Amino acid sequence: MTSLDETGPSTPLKRPIRWHILIFLFPALLVYTAVMILPLFQTLWLSLFNVVDDQTVFVGLGNFKTLFGDQRWAADFWNALKNNFIFFVIHMLVQNPIGIALAAMLSIPKLRLAAFYRTAIFLPTLLSFVIVGFIWKLILSPIWGVAPWMLGLVGAKSLFAPWLGLPHSALITVSLISVWQYVGIPMMLIYAALLNIPEEVIEAAECDGVTGWSQFWKIKLPLILPAIGIISILTFVGNFNAFDLVYTVQGALAGPDGSTDILGTLLYRTFFGFQLQLGDRSMGATIATVMFLIILAGVSLYLFIIQRRIRRYQF
């Protein structure tokens, strides 16, 4: 690829090689290629090999066959994939609608305290997963009793359960913690999109008697669809690559009983090893490859199908 830049401009005028272009591009290209692109492809390549009798041999798609079909691996893998999918669905159904609703309210003109609300709601996004994970672990802990006490205030104390410890509610709880942390991002992006709608469009709508809710649904929502597309794909990539929160709240084993195991934690355990399980580089690379393909599929779907169908309005 670099050989292309050494050639001169497309103009017929004969000019010397423009070294400065190469010098401007070189550092970024070097770091980016060496630390990101090459390892990525090397990982994909590694997934085709495995260690047999202390020898690294080419096994083709054998690792994938093991991952999808072997009793020991398949159960863990399909469980993690299913959980990851639920994790994503909860984000799409809870995080993004709340983010849009908050942004819609914040963008009301001349709203008092808007700057304060915006600043406060965005704060959790800046905290690390470790802080967020531990804070919620403490709050939801039956030992401290803050959560049951608060439920008691609304007369629902009996509803309290150690949600993080129960297999059927742990995944939902972890997802909601993640939603709590990240709602600021869709809020901000949608807020920005709403601010970019020109005054004239809104005024024209008001002249036609379209106000309030119907204005939001009929005028503003279609105009911010591209931004909603972007937050959806950001959520998708972020979720299928998530690891930190589950690791902090539930540990590398993603308990109870693997009920919060997602692809990121499975990759960590497989590749790096945990407790009695030894690290397995080939299977780690295989899981990373599957994650890569999932993310690639999602991004391509967005770029080539969804983004082209969304109608963009030029003002």
Partner 1 sequence: MSKARTSHLRSASVHLALGAYTLIALFPVFLTIVNSFKNRNAIFRAPLQLPGPESFSLIGYQTVLKQGDFIGYFSNSLTVTCVSIFFVLLFGAMAAFALSEYRFKGNTLMGLYLSLGIMIPIRLGTVAILQGMVATGLVNTLTALILVYTAQGLPLAVFILSEFMRTVSDDLKNAGRIDGLSEYAIFFRLVLPLVRPAMATVAVFTMIPIWNDLWFPLILAPAEATKTVTLGSQVFIGQFVTDWNAVLSALSLAIFPVLVLYMIFSRQLIRGITSGAVK
Determine how many CB atoms are found less than 10 A away from the CB of residue 97. 12
The DSSP symbol for 277 reads B
Q: How far is the CB of 60 from partner 1 (least distance, A)?
A: 18
Of 147 and 171, the one with the shorter C-beta distance to partner 1 is 147
Bridge partners, residue 49, by sequence = 58
Q: How far is the CB of 75 from partner 1 (least distance, A)?
A: 22
Closest by CA position to 91, among listed 182, 193, 168: 182
Q: How far is the CB of 245 from partner 1 (least distance, A)?
A: 9
Of 168 and 279, the one with the shorter C-beta distance to partner 1 is 279
Closest by CA position to 264, among listed 235, 287, 233: 287
Q: How far is the CB of 83 from partner 1 (least distance, A)?
A: 18
183's CB contacts (< 8 A; 6+ apart) are: 95, 98, 99, 102, 121, 124, 125
Of 6 and 208, the one with the shorter C-beta distance to partner 1 is 6
Of 71 and 193, the one with the shorter C-beta distance to partner 1 is 193
Q: How far is the CB of 67 from partner 1 (least distance, A)?
A: 14
Of 41 and 168, the one with the shorter C-beta distance to partner 1 is 41
Helices (H), 198-273: 199-207, 212-215, 221-223, 225-239, 244-250, 263-272
Cα–Cα distance, 90 to 302 (Å, whole number): 19
Cβ atoms of 282 and 50 within 8 Å: the answer is: yes
Q: How far is the CB of 238 from partner 1 (least distance, A)?
A: 8
Cβ atoms of 213 and 95 within 8 Å: the answer is: no
Of 145 and 168, the one with the shorter C-beta distance to partner 1 is 145
Q: How far is the CB of 188 from partner 1 (least distance, A)?
A: 5
The DSSP symbol for 274 reads B
Of 31 and 305, the one with the shorter C-beta distance to partner 1 is 31
Bridge partners, residue 274, by sequence = 277
Cα–Cα distance, 251 to 233 (Å, whole number): 27
Q: How far is the CB of 42 from partner 1 (least distance, A)?
A: 4
Cβ atoms of 205 and 293 within 8 Å: the answer is: no
Residue keyed to tokens 């609300």: 117
Of 115 and 168, the one with the shorter C-beta distance to partner 1 is 115
Cα–Cα distance, 315 to 304 (Å, whole number): 24
